[in-house]
Amino acid sequence: MAQNLRSKRVAVVGAGYAGLTAAVSLGQRGIPVVVYESGPVPGGRARRVTTAGRTLDNGQHILIGAYTTLLGMMRTVGADPDALLLRLPLELRYATEFSLRAPALPAPLHLAVALFSATGLTWSERFGAVAFMQAMKRKTFRVDTQVSVAALLEAHGQRGAIARYLWHPLCISALNTLPQAASANAFLAVLRDSLAGSRAASELLIPRVDLTRLFPEPAAAWLDAHGGEVRCGSPIRDLAALRSEYSDVIVAVGPHQLGPLMPGIAEHYTYQPIYTVYLKYPASVRLPLAMLGLADGIVQWVFDRGQLEGEAGLLACVISAQGDHQQMEQSELVTTCRAELSLALGLLPKPEWTQVIAEKRATITCSPGLERPGPRTSLPNVYLAGDYTHPEYPPTLEAAVLSGIRAAAQIA
């Protein structure tokens, strides 16, 4: 076995969170790896971008405590999660009447107290939500594969404020898909591992550094120190040359990028956008907390980057999944965000600058019964990794990291 591993030399295509995790995972076993990345920096759909002389993320991201594999990987490569992420108790506060905060109590008490002390819910909604969670627990968080999130919630009487402020935003944030089109099982996997998990699992973790510094750069440095290499600006146009040079190849490109390399695997997917609208206000503009919900327009969440990365006055408005905003010009998007922020926070001054980053194919549509490819392909010694390949999780950073570990395990 050790002999076999010594003869291996692996190429990974794509330096997103999946490809880098696969590479580190192989590096831990002493297998030399070269990662080929077409872009100028590693990170893929979670990366730093420089635009108009400013360094921003391609989109605001949020992690949860349940992302234990990603957090473990960060520690492996020397990226300290406690320093690089702001860890907050589960707290969903909206500019309107709803707020929910989990107290420092062991699970599941933290959730029960959070629901019963929340503002903006009726008593029947609180009891109904607890009953819903218990019913899902009895079903081990699995239902028929064809059921949508909307159908599941409707069947369990989850309507009104609890749906509007808790279940729908959770579905859209985690699955990047509207409840009527979203897979109930992917949603339930998230509920199982977060709200129904330990208190730490439901905590919110918001990056304090850019997304390339969070994990990709430390991972690249770790690889460098362990006999590997990340080559940015190195697009791979076909696999034949790589296959003749390396014992194995892991293809860790986005599903929308797979076609030219491996046709026939990802053509059935449709995609959902995520827009991030950055607005730089004077430094005195500050949110009451790092992340605030807005429920009455196109913006779902607004983040105060001043409280996260230190650029006071910089707000990031997040608009996930499909919607009317896709038809808007950038100037109209900015005007709408400004109006929604002013409504929520009181009249705000004119921003000093704004920047819209539209990721039109941010993730696959996480629909019911969606077929996901496993790590194996029809080509010998060619494996797949990527957020879309995880069998049950929605396309997230954690799914990407898990898929990287799984692909590496096929080789090692």
Ligand X SMILES: Cc1cc2nc3c(=O)[nH]c(=O)nc-3n(C[C@H](O)[C@H](O)[C@H](O)COP(=O)(O)OP(=O)(O)OC[C@H]3O[C@@H](n4cnc5c(N)ncnc54)[C@H](O)[C@@H]3O)c2cc1C
Distance in Å, CB of 72 to ligand X, minimum: 15
Task: Tell me which of 10, 11, 12, 18 binds ligand X, using CB under 6 A.
Answer: 18
189 touching ligand X, by CB under 6 A: no
Q: Decide whether 252 or 356 has the Cβ nearer to ligand X.
A: 252
Distance in Å, CB of 295 to ligand X, minimum: 18
272 touching ligand X, by CB under 6 A: no
Stretch of 55-63, 161-169, 295-303, 332-340 contacting ligand X, by CB under 6 A: 55-63
Task: Tell me which of 396, 405, 406, 411 binds ligand X, using CB under 6 A.
Answer: 396
In whole angstroms, what is the distance from residue 199 CA to residue 211 CA?
25
Task: Tell me which of 91, 154, 311, 359 binds ligand X, using CB under 6 A.
Answer: 359
Which residues, 6+ apart, have CB-to-CB distance to 291 below 8 Å?
Answer: 62, 88, 204, 206, 301, 302, 303, 304
- Spatial CA neighbour of 20 closest among 253, 192, 188: 253
List of E strands, 52-144: 54-57, 63-64, 85-88, 91-93, 99-101
- Spatial CA neighbour of 317 closest among 364, 273, 356, 362: 356
Give the chain's end-to-end CA distance (angstroms, integer): 9
In whole angstroms, what is the distance from residue 220 CA to residue 228 CA?
8
Q: How is residue 46 annotated by DSSP? A: S
SS (H, E, C) 213-247: HHCHHHHHHHHHHCCCEEECCCCCCCHHHHHHHCC
Q: Decide whether 110 or 406 has the Cβ nearer to ligand X.
A: 406
14 touching ligand X, by CB under 6 A: yes
387 touching ligand X, by CB under 6 A: yes
* Residue 9 contacts residue 228 (beta carbons within 8 Å): no
169 touching ligand X, by CB under 6 A: no
Strand partners, 278: 316, 355
Q: Decide whether 48 or 110 has the Cβ nearer to ligand X.
A: 48
Stretch of 24-32, 57-65, 98-106, 162-170 contacting ligand X, by CB under 6 A: 57-65
315 touching ligand X, by CB under 6 A: no
177 touching ligand X, by CB under 6 A: no
Task: Tell me which of 30, 72, 235, 369 binds ligand X, using CB under 6 A.
Answer: 235
Give me the phi and psi of 187, to 5 degrees please: -60, -45
295 touching ligand X, by CB under 6 A: no
13 touching ligand X, by CB under 6 A: yes
17 touching ligand X, by CB under 6 A: yes
25 touching ligand X, by CB under 6 A: no
Interface characters, 110-129, with ligand X (x: CB under 6 A): --------------------
Which residues, 6+ apart, have CB-to-CB distance to 389 below 8 Å?
Answer: 18, 372, 373, 374, 375, 403, 406, 407
Distance in Å, CB of 236 to ligand X, minimum: 4
Q: Decide whether 89 or 120 has the Cβ nearer to ligand X.
A: 89
Task: Tell me which of 10, 11, 12, 15 binds ligand X, using CB under 6 A.
Answer: 15
The SS3 of residue 172 is helix
375 touching ligand X, by CB under 6 A: no
In whole angstroms, what is the distance from residue 393 CA to residue 67 CA?
11
Q: Decide whether 144 or 229 has the Cβ nearer to ligand X.
A: 229
Task: Tell me which of 386, 405, 406, 407 binds ligand X, using CB under 6 A.
Answer: 386
252 touching ligand X, by CB under 6 A: yes
Half-sphere exposure of 118 (CA within 13 A, CB side): 32
Task: Tell me which of 254, 313, 351, 368 binds ligand X, using CB under 6 A.
Answer: 254
H/E run at residue 192 = helix 184-193
Task: Tell me which of 34, 249, 253, 291 binds ligand X, using CB under 6 A.
Answer: 253
In whole angstroms, what is the distance from residue 238 CA to residue 74 CA?
31
- Spatial CA neighbour of 334 closest among 313, 311, 353: 353
Task: Tell me which of 5, 9, 29, 38 binds ligand X, using CB under 6 A.
Answer: 38
Site of interaction with ligand X (CB under 6 A): 13-19, 36-39, 44-46, 58-59, 61-62, 235-236, 252-254, 257, 261, 274, 276, 359, 362-363, 386-387, 395-397, 400
